[in-house]
Structure 1
């Protein structure tokens, strides 16, 4: 098998020329892998059971090296990257991007790809976030904390997906540094024909720093106006005053908030008050003040790692029952494609969680089990699958132990099928519709710490694309 070697320049070239069709293909590969990760059986390669835990080593100079192994039905991956933690010597020089390499092998262990990991890490994180961005109904204003590669790729993919509706992109950074200037230049330098074809030729970009006299007022305005907020910094303190979004005025608008910068328990970008509000169980009574719907959960990329490593999750004291993996949402039928003719708008999404019949016979499960095999398969094929139980027990240093399942474990056992009658099936569909409405319009928080599986899937697609376009170096007999 030939080995494809891709340098950082090779990968940048491939990604800069990425078309919307290419993006959809990348999304579908990652969507399927994340779904399999969260819901798969031992027989499926991407299943969480087969994913080794990553290892972190901290050196004397303050850098952290991550070893991230992964496996799928089609191959094996190992990424090794070194990150500069805040306050380290490397961080003081502005070198904060992860440095390292990604090795890809087939199921027999034969290498077929060796990639520089710098651009891959930022792109694959943004690609996972884009699965939620694509579901949002209104995307006009983006507010972004940070000015690095993560900030660039999160905005770039949002523009590729929703460029025709995005009118304003507001960046917020500590200083108007060379990196901040380069970030803006990166968007200005994109060919005008590409901007026009993607629909964002007239989109306005701005950079706000604390040095500006009216920073507090403008930051508040940017946050309140945002349809999507990206936070991409390794901050050890919350980035903004929580009341901006938690008071009556701040809660009127539904937002997607994506936090991907913190990766250690002491790091935190989002105020804990924001996560507490998002996971609060609200009653079904009349609210005097109108506010956007809350889902009652925080979306995460991987339950175990976020409970162990994500400062926002740990410092907010959230339990597994207050988290749901993105892999269990990605196949949920879009609200616009819903077969349900009417929705009970009086019910909030969190009430829908409680109504979904997801309790197995062997005890309660976390809300990471809300979206099960039936809804996922229906979204792809329009059919209802027969019952197939799956159960994986996973332990967390935060919660002691908790079990998880990616299917209707224990559901319908009495009747021998997933649902015992049509009315139950219709009720399930109705609740799924409400979840879709929340993902499209409500307040959704997504926390990601990244995982090796993302690198493996995206890396394999990059090798495929490189081979199609003749990019990189190919060693025929490695």
Structure 2
């Protein structure tokens, strides 16, 4: 078996040249892997596939101020180990910041080395790819607001343009200062070939950069946030990036938004205000929505439940419990159960959620024939409880119980409501990263690199 070696420049060349179909394949492969990861730990889930995602091993060096993370993972396709070094949390501020750097080593299921890949661009891309699993489901993706100007910010926007470029009209970039990174991120978008922009549909998209240096910054920040259909938070911040009131007030909640937070990854870091998370999870207690257009799921979406509870500063500060979180892989079950996605009605102008969605309470059960029907008093079942109940009912399928058909109808009804929430509602996604993502994306990058004859290929490699 041959070994493929890819530098960061070569990884970037492969990813920048993706067609829509290739980018969609990446999304599908990651969704499938996350589905197995989440459901394999539930009763009746996983389809017999094995996923191993051990906790990362972390080593801090007081001498260099560096922190090195070792992240192993394995699934049916093989296994991988990612090693990344960053500046430690207690690093001497007088020392140069260590830009996250490292590698991913990929192995076949029987242990034969298959790829050795630089991790810089790969890490940014795979994180943005997980966010894209939700982005592609959104009904309206016209205005993007992104905090940060690093690789994570770039790839979140770049993938959005690949997948939804024909609908994106504005990209608002917000940074704490007009730095070289801020200039560079604009140059990267302007440097994309005209033919590529036309193929992806964003040749007329308007880009802007906003920093606190502008005299009218508070007003412009509020306008950018309220106008956004999607907000990407991609900064290693230790404090809220904006006041919660901007998005929790009555007027701002007239439309749903997808809010993605991936920049903070330790208990001491955070990007999102506490009240924003608490508002998003209040529906889980059976309470009614603040406004008829504020369709919410009563949960915050995370990539890994265990990781979010121990590493995500926002989740820890808001004191959210597991019943208020749902893994991204669990949401894929909505599609998997029926075999195909149902067509959902969209609002006329894409700016607000339809009247019918305003009547939904996806956390309630009606005693008169299904969950969330208008007039239901609400049973207060959480999103996570729903998935657990549905897994148990699927395990018991075929046991001859008379209520099996009614249970299935209730499950399908609530799934429709969840699907509408994902499509049109206020959805918050918090990611701290999974080694499994590196394994899945790394394997696909290596496959494409071989097809496109990119990188170094060591034939007949033997360990």
TM-score range for the pair, normalised by the shorter chain length: 0.7 to 0.9
Is the partner of 2:283 in helix, strand or coil? coil
Contact 1:356 1:370 in 2 (8 A): no
Q: Aligned equivalents of 1:123 and 1:91: distance in 2?
A: 30
Is the partner of 2:207 in helix, strand or coil? strand
1:465 matches 2:448: yes
Deviation at 1:370, TM superposition (A): 3.4
2:330 corresponds to: 328
The correspondence of residues 305-324 of structure 1 with structure 2, limited to 5 A, is 305-324=307-326
1:292 matches 2:294: yes
Deviation at 1:110, TM superposition (A): 1.0
Is the partner of 1:268 in helix, strand or coil? coil
Deviation at 1:55, TM superposition (A): 1.4
1:143 matches 2:145: yes
Unmatched 5+ stretches in structure 1:
358-363, 372-404
Aligned length: 434
Q: Aligned equivalents of 1:234 and 1:280: distance in 2?
A: 27
Deviation at 1:57, TM superposition (A): 2.1
2:262 corresponds to: 260
Q: Aligned equivalents of 2:441 and 2:56: distance in 1?
A: 18
Unmatched 5+ stretches in structure 2:
346-354, 373-379
1:24 corresponds to: 24
1:190 corresponds to: 192
Contact 1:229 1:257 in 2 (8 A): yes
Q: Aligned pair in 2 of structure 1 residues 284, 36: CA closer, same or farther (>3 Å)?
A: closer
Q: Aligned equivalents of 1:28 and 1:42: distance in 2?
A: 17
Q: Aligned equivalents of 2:264 and 2:241: distance in 1?
A: 11
Summarize deviations over 1:186-210 as a string: whole Å, max 9, x none.
0000011111111110100011111
1:444 corresponds to: 427
Is the partner of 1:350 in helix, strand or coil? coil
Deviation at 1:101, TM superposition (A): 0.6
2:360 corresponds to: 347
Q: Aligned pair in 2 of structure 1 residues 428, 367: CA closer, same or farther (>3 Å)?
A: closer
Q: Aligned equivalents of 2:406 and 2:428: distance in 1?
A: 32
Is the partner of 2:189 in helix, strand or coil? helix
1:77 matches 2:77: no
Deviation at 1:350, TM superposition (A): 2.9
Q: Aligned equivalents of 2:166 and 2:200: distance in 1?
A: 6
Contact 1:142 1:229 in 2 (8 A): yes
Summarize deviations over 1:107-130 as a string: whole Å, max 9, x none.
111101000000100000001110
1:63 corresponds to: 66
> Given the alignment, which residue of 445, 460, 463 partners 1:477?
460
Is the partner of 1:67 in helix, strand or coil? strand
2:352 corresponds to: none
Deviation at 1:13, TM superposition (A): 0.6
Contact 2:291 2:358 in 1 (8 A): no
Contact 1:335 1:437 in 2 (8 A): no
1:337 corresponds to: 343
Q: Aligned equivalents of 2:183 and 2:90: distance in 1?
A: 22
Summarize deviations over 1:45-103 as a string: whole Å, max 9, x none.
553xx22111122222443211100001121100000123578458974653x200100
2:162 corresponds to: 160
Is the partner of 1:280 in helix, strand or coil? helix
1:402 corresponds to: none
Contact 2:293 2:358 in 1 (8 A): no
Deviation at 1:411, TM superposition (A): 5.4
When the two structures are superposed, what TM-score results if normalisation uses the length of structure 1? Answer: 0.84
1:380 corresponds to: none
Question: What is the root-mean-square deviation of aligned Cα atoms in Å?
Answer: 2.9
The correspondence of residues 56-455 of structure 1 with structure 2, limited to 5 A, is 56-60=58-62, 61-85=64-88, 88=91, 93=96, 95-96=98-99, 98-281=100-283, 289-333=291-335, 336-337=342-343, 346-351=359-364, 367-368=383-384, 370-371=386-387, 408-409=391-392, 413=396, 416=399, 420-455=403-438
Contact 2:302 2:308 in 1 (8 A): yes
Q: Aligned equivalents of 2:279 and 2:287: distance in 1?
A: 17
Q: Aligned equivalents of 1:200 and 1:51: distance in 2?
A: 38
Q: Aligned pair in 2 of structure 1 residues 178, 349: CA closer, same or farther (>3 Å)?
A: same
Q: Aligned equivalents of 2:401 and 2:179: distance in 1?
A: 57
